[in-house]
Amino acid sequence: MTRFLLARPAWLPRPEIMLGWLVVAHVLLKLLIFPLVMNAAPVGDESAYLNGGRALSNLLRDSFAFTSPDSAELERNVVASGWFMPGMPVVIAPVYVLFPDAPMWLVRAYLGLFTLVLFLIVVRSVARRLSPGWACVLVVVPGLIPSYVVFSYGAWGDLCAGLVLVLLLVHLVEMYRGLREGKAPTLKEGLVLGLLATAELYLRSSTSILLAVLGVATLATAIVMLRGKVRVRAIGSAVLAGVVFVLLLAPWSYFASESLGGRVMTTTTVPTVMANTFGNRSEVCFGHCDPDSTQWFRPLRYAREVGRSTDTSEVEVLKHMSSYALRDLTPSHYLDQVVHNLGAYSLQPNNFTGYLEPEDGRGTFGNAGAQVANAITWALYVPLVLLGAVSLLFHARRSLEARLLDVLTKLALGALLVQPFVHIAGGRYWTTAGPILAIAAFSFLRERQLALEGAVAPPEGIVTPMDGTAVAWLGRVQGLLSVLTGIVVVVLLGAVIL
């Protein structure tokens, strides 16, 4: 792993020392930004997450007092319409347990502290399991991107999901090292894998595809690389991870399904989002919806009314409404909207710097600070996105673990970028992909540096015949992923041009 990063100039300190100074810079940046956002009112989905946090805090308070929980409050504020997973309400609940009437500045301070602790856990894990150099990369991008730090004070789950995803990928790399030595993952590793996957899904339901892809790839790798009893133990560890995942997801799925009167695995948003994003909005309610609400609540209100009058679950009604609105969808309209979604996903990194603004404004100095933060964001963000995107078309070859990390980052980014193809996108979603983009971008830079030096040596770390087989298979997977990416790029470019 020592050659994963760009060669370090002689005047820079060792990565271990530099990491400490970069962490200090990240903490100072958070302290500087806090006054800009501390009094910002809840924005959009934040209100739902905060209400869910209050409801869960009341549940905890009732449990400690041995009184019956208010199930109606849980249905109203945690499940609500089934749009949001309860991950962030769980994160937020402690501040309301301690301070039931916590003002917004205290809630944002708590969120900033929580995300800081999570960020440091991720940095420490990366430093120990990959290298201090890789940890430095993550602290710089996205850790020193101002808009990313602004978002760390928000109640959305996207940023936390991105950090948990890094923990998950690092855990998979460590598991792979054991497979190379012919060792099956332990039950503890399976337990940790299940917990991380559950946390990821609870923070962002849209990562379900990502988790499925990584789960299948990991199990297939273990089956191919191991033999005999060791393979059986690996399958047992995978089964444990799956059982933990299902057991932890089941309470939410059961309660949401009971509350809404229909089967709910994660969330209920897909039909409404598909209709509003790709369908005819004037036909979502089998015609025009009630104009006295937003485009998201209008269909929900109509579905509830239809459900009550027909004794049908609103979840089923929403599916029928979506199918009706999408009945005339053409490939060209679909691709145009996908391109628009990708632009919204990747070209609005500063949106929430403006959203998280006090109602009375920030004043002269605050506005100046926000403008500086926006400029620095663009300076760091543009290279990150461009290099990360270009890296999807190229392969890492410098070592066995470089190939492995390349495949994992491509799978992760590919799964995350499914969202613009099925869901409306916005400026907050890049915070989930940001850390993975950083790994992909710097891996690509290292490969280019080696190519310019003309010293592309045989892959490092090839010790056993199984390692040679792994290199061959990883190379095939890398090629397949690059080809698939190229096809998608050509199709989308064609949609833009035509």
Please indicate, yes or no, whether residues 171 and 87 belong to a single structural domain of this protein.
Answer: yes
Is residue 473 in some structural domain? yes
Is residue 34 in some structural domain? yes
- For residues 195-229, one letter each, b for 16 or more C-beta atoms within 10 angstroms of the residue's C-beta and e for the rest, the string is bbbbbbbbbbbbbbebbeebbeebbebbeebbeee
Is residue 290 in some structural domain? yes
Please indicate, yes or no, whether residues 315 and 347 belong to a single structural domain of this protein.
Answer: no
Q: How much of the chain exceeds pLDDT 90, in percent?
A: 70
Q: Which helix (H) or strand (E) holds 114?
A: helix 104-129
Is residue 275 in some structural domain? no
Is residue 144 in some structural domain? yes
Instruction: Decide if 125 contacts 167 (C-beta within 8 A).
Output: yes
Report how many domains make up the chain.
Answer: 2
Quick one: 102 exposed, middle or buried, by C-beta within 10 A (0-12, 13-18, 19+)?
A: buried
Please indicate, yes or no, whether residues 320 and 254 belong to a single structural domain of this protein.
Answer: no
Please indicate, yes or no, whether residues 22 and 93 belong to a single structural domain of this protein.
Answer: yes
Q: Render pLDDT for 149-200 as a digit per residue (tens, 0 to 9).
A: 999 999 999 999 999 999 999 999 999 989 888 889 999 999 999 999 999 9
Please indicate, yes or no, whether residues 338 and 324 belong to a single structural domain of this protein.
Answer: no
Average of per-residue pLDDT across 132-137: 96
Please indicate, yes or no, whether residues 287 and 170 belong to a single structural domain of this protein.
Answer: no
Give this prediction's pTM: 0.95
| Sequence-separated contacts (24+) of 93-102 with Cβ below 8 Å | 93/53, 93/54, 93/56, 93/57, 93/60, 94/57, 95/53, 96/53, 96/54, 96/56, 96/57, 97/57, 97/60, 97/61, 100/54, 100/57
Please indicate, yes or no, whether residues 428 and 296 belong to a single structural domain of this protein.
Answer: no
Please indicate, yes or no, whether residues 366 and 454 belong to a single structural domain of this protein.
Answer: yes
**pLDDT attached to residue 464:** 67
| Sequence-separated contacts (24+) of 101-104 with Cβ below 8 Å | 104/38, 104/39, 104/40, 104/41, 104/42
Please indicate, yes or no, whether residues 313 and 364 belong to a single structural domain of this protein.
Answer: no
- How many angstroms separate the CA atoms of 338 and 404, rounded? 30
- How many angstroms separate the CA atoms of 187 and 189, rounded? 5
- How many angstroms separate the CA atoms of 7 and 447, rounded? 11
Higher-pLDDT residue of 248, 361: 248
Please provide the average confidence, as pLDDT, over all residues in the chain.
Answer: 91
Report the largest interatomic distance among the alpha carbons of the chain, rounded to a whole angstrom. 74
Is residue 164 in some structural domain? yes
Please indicate, yes or no, whether residues 197 and 287 belong to a single structural domain of this protein.
Answer: no
**How many C-alpha atoms does 101 have within 13 Å on its Cβ side?**
0
Please indicate, yes or no, whether residues 321 and 201 belong to a single structural domain of this protein.
Answer: no
Among 291, 307, 328, residue at a domain's last position = 328
Is residue 8 in some structural domain? no
Is residue 48 in some structural domain? yes
Please indicate, yes or no, whether residues 322 and 440 belong to a single structural domain of this protein.
Answer: no
Q: Render pLDDT for 391-423 as a digit per residue (tens, 0 to 9).
A: 999 989 888 889 999 999 999 999 999 999 988
Tokens 């290298």 belong to residue? 131
Average of per-residue pLDDT across 52-67: 92
Task: Note down the domain range covering 62.
Answer: 15-262+334-497
**pLDDT attached to residue 2:** 38
